[in-house]
Amino acid sequence: MKITRDLYQGSLALLTDFYQLTMAYAYWKSGKGEQQAVFNLSFRKHPFQSGFTLAAGLDYLIDFCRNFRFDEDDLAYLSEMKTKDGNPTFETGFIEYLRKLEFACDIEAVEEGTVVFPHIPLVKVTGPLIQCQLLETPLLNIINFQTLIATKAARICFAAQGKSVLEFGLRRAQGIDGALAASRASYIGGCSATSNVMAGKLFGIPVSGTHAHSWIMSFDSELEAFKAYAEAFPDHCVFLVDTYDTIKGVANAIEVGRILREKGRELVGIRIDSGDLAYYSNIAREMLDQAGFPNAKIVASNDLDEHIITSLIVQDASIDVWGVGTKLVTAFDQPALGAVYKLAAIQTSEGKWEPRVKVSQQAIKINVPGRQQVFRFSKNGRAVADMICLEGSDVGRDQFTILDPIDPTRMKKINTKGLEVESLLKPIFQKGQKVYERPNIHEIKQKAQRNLEYFDKTHKRLVNPHIYPVGLEESLYQLRNSLVFKMKNNDGEENHI
Chain residues 300-339 in contact with its own copies, contact rule CB under 8 A? 326, 330-332, 335-338
When binding is defined by CB under 8 A, the residue of 34, 49, 77, 289 that contacts its own copies is: 77
When binding is defined by CB under 8 A, the residue of 53, 144, 147, 301 that contacts its own copies is: 144
The closest of 323, 351, 334, 422 to 120, measured between CA atoms, is 422
Positions of E strands within 206-253: 238-240
According to the binding rule CB under 8 A, does residue 265 interact with its own copies?
A: no
Q: Binding string to its own copies for residues 222 to 241, with x set by CB under 8 A, is what?
A: ------xx-xxx-xx-----
Shorter beta-carbon distance to its own copies: residue 437 or 491: 491
According to the binding rule CB under 8 A, does residue 176 interact with its own copies?
A: yes
Size of the site for its own copies (CB under 8 A): 112
**Residue 268 DSSP SS3:** coil
Query: 106 to 135, contacts with its own copies by CB under 8 A?
Result: 129, 133
Shorter beta-carbon distance to its own copies: residue 195 or 451: 195
When binding is defined by CB under 8 A, the residue of 92, 360, 440, 458 that contacts its own copies is: 360
Across-strand partners of 411? Answer: 403
E strand or H helix that includes residue 58: helix 58-66
CA gap 272, 129 in Å, rounded: 55
Cβ at position 430, least distance to its own copies in Å:
23
Q: Please report, to the nearest 10 degrees, the dihedral formed by the alpha carbons of residues 80, 81, 85, 87 taken in order.
A: -50
Task: Kindly indicate which of the ranges 42-50, 112-120, 174-182, 451-459 contains the residues binding its own copies, using the contact rule CB under 8 A.
Answer: 174-182
When binding is defined by CB under 8 A, the residue of 123, 343, 425, 448 that contacts its own copies is: 343
Cβ at position 8, least distance to its own copies in Å:
6
Q: What is the DSSP string of 26-37?
A: HHHHTT-TT-EE
Task: Kindly indicate which of the ranges 2-10, 390-398, 403-411, 432-440 contains the residues binding its own copies, using the contact rule CB under 8 A.
Answer: 2-10
According to the binding rule CB under 8 A, does residue 71 interact with its own copies?
A: no
Q: What is the DSSP string of 80-147?
A: T-B-TTSSBSS-HHHHHHHHH-----EEEEEPTT-EE-TT--SEEEEEEHHHHHHHHHHHHHHHHHHH
CA gap 118, 52 in Å, rounded: 9
Task: Kindly indicate which of the ranges 104-112, 313-321, 432-440, 487-495 contains the residues binding its own copies, using the contact rule CB under 8 A.
Answer: 487-495
